Amino acid sequence: MKLLHIDSSVSGAGSASLSPAKKVYIASSRGNVYTPGSPAAVFEHHETYLTSVLGLIGLRDVTVVRAEGLAFGPEARDAAMAKAREHISGIAA
């Protein structure tokens, strides 16, 4: 099964994707909460790194589905997972 095939070229002007219409989905889970406005937001590097690398090879249409705060106990984990599932349902609709 092929999950992702990337065709790109790099010139002196930067990267140029040969398939710029590709849609990328990142499924992310983490123990803490790093979304903007949270106390730990300044430590978020996971999503920014991935979207930057993908952008470098021309993949700029990126959607991140995240479940975060999973280490805050069973209720927080269940709520985060429910929110992520809702996000996925919205994408699939």
Collapsing DSSP to helix, strand or coil, 12 comes out as coil
- Residue 21: band (very low, low, confident or very high) from pLDDT cuts 50, 70, 90: confident
Rg of the chain on CA atoms, in Å: 16
More confident residue, 5 or 36: 36
- Greatest CA span in the chain, whole angstroms? 51
H or E element, residue 84: helix 74-92
Q: What is the mean pLDDT of residues 8-25?
A: 65
Give the lowest-confidence range in 5-14, 16-25, 34-43, 63-72. 5-14
Q: How many CB atoms lie within 10 A of CB 9?
A: 10
DSSP 38: S
For residue range 54-86, what is the model confidence (pLDDT) as tens digits?
998 888 999 999 999 999 999 999 999 999 999
